Amino acid sequence: MHERIRHEGMLQKRMSAGEAAALIRPGMTVAMSGFTGAGYPKAVPEALAAQMEAAHAAGEDFKIKVLTGASTAPELDGVLARADGMELRLPYMSDPALRKRINDGELDYMDIHLSHVAQHTWFGFYGDVDVAVVEVVGILEDGRLIPSSSVGNNKTWLDMAGKVILEVNSRQPAAMEGMHDVYYGTALPPNRKPVPILTPSDRIGEPYLRVDPEKVVAVIETDAPDRLSGFSAPDEASKAIAGHLLEFLDHEIRRGRLTDRLLPLQSGVGNIANAVLAGLAEGGYKGLTAYTEVIQDGMLHLIKDGTIGFASATSFSLSEAGVEEFTENVDYYRERILLRTQEISNHPEVVRRLGCIALNGMIEADIYGNVNSTHVAGTSVMNGIGGSGDFARNGFLSVFMSPSVAKGGRISAIVPMASHVDHTEHDTMVLVTEQGIADLRGLAPKQRARTIIANCAHPSYRPALTDYFDRALRDSYGKHTPHLLGEALSWHERFVQTGDMRPAS
């Protein structure tokens, strides 16, 4: 019997990636697996991109609509973007080639809260799903699927798609079997029931994905690793941000608002998130929990040393060393990790019930606490909102972090008015930069402005922000949230024109 494909019918459906890709036709909506560089299909998108390029060379149109879990990798987003093969892409992405096409206005990108994607698909907001392309670790005798390094929206894709293409990746550790929790209790309004998760470790579903074998039109065997993102050591600013945040958490414990077990942590991706995790390890915490989206190397270390006792997520996004560590100690991690569908890992009901501590990065915040996570100069998308909104609005604490300046000081992360708003002033409780922390809880707009400018702005921008705020206090049309409307976005305009937010003088 084939080691990874144990279902006789599906074994017969093995074919090459090129043959499978040929089942995808122009204009189709194709839902693919993948979440933060993990568990995405590695062969079919590349073969499809080659077929698109051939069609384009022959003067034919060939573009598809692509739905995923979150960001994927060069082998999916990169190749399809370079082949100019997408007319629509959703949700979160981080591929440079794709980002460029989006910001050049060459394809439509829809940035959607990650918890919304599955239910919006069920609601019919994105039309029919023609084909699902999903990576799995293996296929059981009865046709159920062992999920891969991410679960993402795969349950929904397999349920909704007219046809299913499976990539069985033998490089993914077989030992992951049993670590997933796929919830089949979701229903559509008005028939929904509570999602019965009371602690991050609660199992509410099954370790396998179901698929109707009749819908499976192709099975492809692959043997390629995930994107395997490495990390640079935290820089000084990241370390300072982590330091302020850890001091704040200590303060909350002393005030009795948190215990030394904290509350389930949600941590974004990137260098600052990694520095915060590294800081937690040094903070003497034990037995914490995480209810989050992504397990990166930093989280694995915390699980190994007991800082984190249990982590629930939807994806493993590990470096090569991380995969090795995981594989060698899989029995240990199996007791301490669950991967869920992203509609559950990011479910607002669960995030609110558990009281998550949401820790996310930002592009900029304004003096009132509106946060821009996604758009440089209000127009050029970076990655997308990801799950930050799912957690920020519903968490016990919502924290946004960034260095106070970007691009060598030419950009201030604290601005008079955010050039794009992902998280409103109502969703932001704490802002942190390397300069310090602004605790906005219980503060009215003008108090927030004074706190943010004093504690978070870089000294080279503080006088200009103070000057703006003072003049707004005097001259604003309304005095509740004072602004000088004609001037509020002038910092961004100056950056677009000169490459620098600082005034010429």
- Please select the residue that binds ligand 0RQ; options are 298, 378, 403, 416, rule is CB under 6 A: 403
387 is in an annotated binding site: yes
383 is in an annotated binding site: yes
Q: What is the spatial distance between Cα 128 and Cα 393, in angstroms, rounded to a whole number?
A: 30
Our finding on whether 86 is near ligand 0RQ (CB under 6 A) is: no
Our finding on whether 376 is near ligand 0RQ (CB under 6 A) is: yes
Please say which residue, 356 or 362, places its beta carbon nearer to ligand 0RQ. Answer: 362
Please say which residue, 329 or 380, places its beta carbon nearer to ligand 0RQ. Answer: 380
Please say which residue, 21 or 363, places its beta carbon nearer to ligand 0RQ. Answer: 363
Give the chain's length.
505
Active site residues: 293
Please say which residue, 170 or 380, places its beta carbon nearer to ligand 0RQ. Answer: 380
Count of residues interacting with ligand 0RQ (CB under 6 A): 30
Which residues fall within 8 angstroms of residue 8, CB to CB, at 6 or more apart?
Answer: none
Fill in the DSSP letter of residue 11: H
- Please select the residue that binds ligand 0RQ; options are 360, 394, 404, 455, rule is CB under 6 A: 360
Binding mask 139-178 for ligand 0RQ (x = CB under 6 A): ----------------------------------------
Q: What is the spatial distance between Cα 214 and Cα 293, in angstroms, rounded to a whole number?
A: 32
Quote the least distance from Cβ 402 to ligand 0RQ, whole Å: 6
- Please select the residue that binds ligand 0RQ; options are 362, 367, 432, 440, rule is CB under 6 A: 362
Q: Which of residues 303-342 bind ligand 0RQ (CB under 6 A)?
A: none
Quote the least distance from Cβ 192 to ligand 0RQ, whole Å: 24
Our finding on whether 288 is near ligand 0RQ (CB under 6 A) is: no
Cβ atoms of 374 and 422 within 8 Å: the answer is yes
Closest-approach residue to ligand 0RQ (CB):
386
Cβ atoms of 51 and 22 within 8 Å: the answer is yes
Identify residue 155 by its one-letter amino acid code: K
Cβ atoms of 414 and 404 within 8 Å: the answer is yes
Does residue 412 sit in helix, strand or coil?
strand
Our finding on whether 388 is near ligand 0RQ (CB under 6 A) is: yes
Q: What is the spatial distance between Cα 413 and Cα 417, in angstroms, rounded to a whole number?
A: 11
Q: What is the spatial distance between Cα 362 and Cα 125, in angstroms, rounded to a whole number?
A: 28
Does residue 103 sit in helix, strand or coil?
helix
- Among the listed ranges 119-127, 136-144, 378-386, 444-452, the one in contact with ligand 0RQ (CB under 6 A) is 378-386
Evaluated on CA atoms 86, 91, 94, 99, the torsion sign reads positive
Angle at which helix 445-455 crosses helix 462-475, to 10 degrees, equals 160
Cβ atoms of 339 and 152 within 8 Å: the answer is no
Identify residue 361 by its one-letter amino acid code: G
Please say which residue, 34 or 138, places its beta carbon nearer to ligand 0RQ. Answer: 34
Quote the least distance from Cβ 218 to ligand 0RQ, whole Å: 28
Our finding on whether 386 is near ligand 0RQ (CB under 6 A) is: yes
Quote the least distance from Cβ 350 to ligand 0RQ, whole Å: 16
Q: What is the spatial distance between Cα 381 and Cα 1, in angstroms, rounded to a whole number?
A: 48
Binding mask 244-273 for ligand 0RQ (x = CB under 6 A): ------------------------xxxxx-
Our finding on whether 382 is near ligand 0RQ (CB under 6 A) is: yes
Our finding on whether 383 is near ligand 0RQ (CB under 6 A) is: yes
Which residues fall within 8 angstroms of residue 105, CB to CB, at 6 or more apart?
Answer: none
Cβ atoms of 101 and 84 within 8 Å: the answer is yes
Hey, which residues does 481 pair with through a beta bridge?
A: none
What are residue 158's phi and psi, to 5 degrees? -70, -35
- The binding site for CoA comprises 363, 383, 387, 407
Give the residues lining the site for ligand 0RQ (CB under 6 A): 36, 70, 92, 114, 268-272, 293-294, 360-364, 373, 376, 382-383, 385-388, 402-403, 406-407, 411, 413
